A and B are shown apart, each in its own frame.
Chain A
């Protein structure tokens, strides 16, 4: 089952673009890659999901190289409200087990 590795923390400043990379060397053929955001005292919230290449929505972009052994969440022009923990999640083919990474604590400074 694919597990993930992320940086423990990152610092950024308002208005900057932030890129958070997740490693998932054992990703399976049918696995999708999903990113969640979690604020203190709240449950995680879905941000974006992808299988390969690039996915973009109104919140973020997700870049996945051809080998799919990693993925990069890109947050454009972050604000203080983007300070949160970001989790990379790789779905088992049967969707019966999900392993959240350790999460990356993003701290956005003014």
Chain B
């Protein structure tokens, strides 16, 4: 079966522009996560969706960041008025939501803000 897919794989944008990053989770997975990974750094948790529950947005670094998950499947991470410090790889993961849980990661979107 298909794994987690993300698009685009690379995105170059100018400072101040808005960007949308897409994640297609594994079919049937109820949980979806977004992480950010700066060059040479570990993963930084951003947001978590579980089924139809309200998302846990506590990891979002500023109000310029938002995420949606439509129909319990595809998710979009939006960054408004991008800044150079937003440059990073944005990783999406999904899981079955069962206890214990294992996350399956996508290949990531590399965002470069000029």
Binding site for B on A (CB under 8 A): 32, 34, 41-46, 49, 51, 87, 91, 95-103
Contact = CB atoms under 8 A, between A and B. Distances in A.
Contacts, number: 56
Contacts of B99: 95
B108 A49 contact: no
Contacts of B72: none
Given A96-B48, A97-B48, A44 B102 contact: no
Interface of B: 4, 31, 33, 35, 42-43, 45, 48, 50, 56, 58-59, 91, 93, 97, 99-108
Contact of B43 (A95, A96, A100): A100
B31 to A, nearest CB: 7
B42 A43 contact: no
B42 A101 contact: yes
A44 B35 CA distance: 11
A87 B106 CA distance: 16
10 contacts: A43-B91, A44-B103, A44-B105, A45-B105, A91-B100, A95-B99, A99-B45, A100-B35, A100-B42, A102-B42
Residue of A41, A43, A91, A101 with highest tally of chain B CB at under 10 A: A43
A95 B31 contact: yes
Given A87-B42, A87-B43, A43 B50 contact: no
A97 B101 contact: no
A49 B102 contact: yes
Residue of B43, B45, B56, B108 with highest tally of chain A CB at under 10 A: B43
Given A43-B91, A43-B93, A97-B48, A103 B42 contact: yes
A85 to B, nearest CB: 8
A6 to B, nearest CB: 9
B100 A46 contact: no
A91 B101 contact: yes
A32 B98 CA distance: 12
B42 A96 contact: no
Contacts of A99: 45
Contact of B107 (A43, A46, A51): A43
